[in-house]
Amino acid sequence: MEQLRNLKDLNGYALAARDGEIGTLKEVYFDDQAWVVRYLVVHVGGLFLGREVLITPQSIESVDEDARNIVVNLTRGQVENSPPVSSEHPVSRHYEAEYQRYYGLESYWEAGPIGAPFGSGSIPLPAAPPREPDHPHLRSSDEVCGYRIAARNDEFGKVEDFVVDDSDWSIAYVAIDTRRWLPGRTVLISPAWIDAVDWPGRSITVNLGHDAIKSAPEYDPSKVITAEYEARLLAHYGKSLPACRRHEQQGASHA
């Protein structure tokens, strides 16, 4: 069942291939322009040994909360033989082109937010991928957690988590911990309400007033985000859902 999920809840989930377990989810890389998850970073091997591999959301078949695993349409051999990556270094566009070619995927920077359906066959990539320093705009979820949040020059909290929509792995909301300034509250904001991100300065400025955020409906990470909660949240801020998510909700209500 498609739903909004806290990224921190998913961290540690096992990745289940068609022929066995691959590893565990460590973090994600998201696109800082489209605010969509591009890759799951999966730790393969033991706690102190092993390596990291990238899994694209295009390969995900389902999320099993009871088993705490993410089922992917891959084999262990495919993953083990995929281009190696180090989460200690930025992912280059050249690496991404090699990765997309290995799995026979269309490059998302040409195809759109998610790209071609996984397993659709080999799709030719440009003969010469973009040269560095072309930036792939990928950010680590672990890195961005802790960024300071400012509302019109009034700092009031920090990034605590991300809420992802598992229908397309877009980031629906950013969870903000305001307890240092507004005791005991966690609130949600949409990436659409972000004015600017200072990546070197580790801060995010949102186009919302301090008072509006202070009085926003409190977010409880232990509870499922319902359509009713979203309606209250958006009404409070005077905002509306993006057209794509409105369509998804309408489809779900008629299912």
Residue 131: predicted pLDDT: 46
Preceding omega of 133 cis (within 30 degrees of 0): yes
Residue intervals of the chain classified under CATH 3.90.50.10 are 145-253
pLDDT above 70 (res 201):
yes
The angle subtended at Cα 169 by Cα 130 and Cα 185, nearest 5°, is 120
Lowest mean pLDDT among 78-82, 126-130, 179-183: 126-130
The angle subtended at Cα 199 by Cα 198 and Cα 201, nearest 5°, is 65
Higher pLDDT, residue 251 or 220: 220
4-139 under CATH 1.10.10.410, yes or no:
no
Query: pTM for this one?
Result: 0.81
CATH superfamily of 145-253: Photosynthetic Reaction Center, subunit H, domain 2 (3.90.50.10)
pLDDT above 90 (res 246):
no
- d(C-alpha 221, C-alpha 23), whole Å: 25
pLDDT in tens, 17-51: 999 999 999 999 999 888 999 999 998 875 545 78
Cite the DSSP H helix spans in the chain.
7-10, 76-80, 93-103, 108-111, 141-144, 210-214, 227-237, 243-253
Higher pLDDT, residue 247 or 93: 93
Highest mean pLDDT: which range of 63-72, 104-113, 124-133, 174-183: 63-72
Residue 91: predicted pLDDT: 83
Residue 121: predicted pLDDT: 34
Residue intervals of the chain classified under CATH 2.30.30.240 are 4-139
Residue 135: predicted pLDDT: 54
- d(C-alpha 22, C-alpha 45), whole Å: 8
Say if strands 170-177 and 186-189 run parallel, antiparallel, or are unpaired.
Answer: antiparallel
Q: What is the DSSP letter of 210?
A: H
Q: What value does the mean pLDDT take over residues 52-77?
A: 92
**What's the number of CA atoms in the CB half-sphere (13 Å) around residue 49?**
2
Q: What value does the mean pLDDT take over residues 185-196?
A: 91
Q: Are 194 and 183 in contact (CB under 8 A)?
A: no
Lowest mean pLDDT among 33-37, 57-61, 112-116, 144-148: 112-116
Residue 156: predicted pLDDT: 80
pLDDT in tens, 107-135: 777 754 444 333 333 333 344 444 443 55
Residue 172, token pair as written in the block: 């629906």
Higher pLDDT, residue 191 or 50: 191
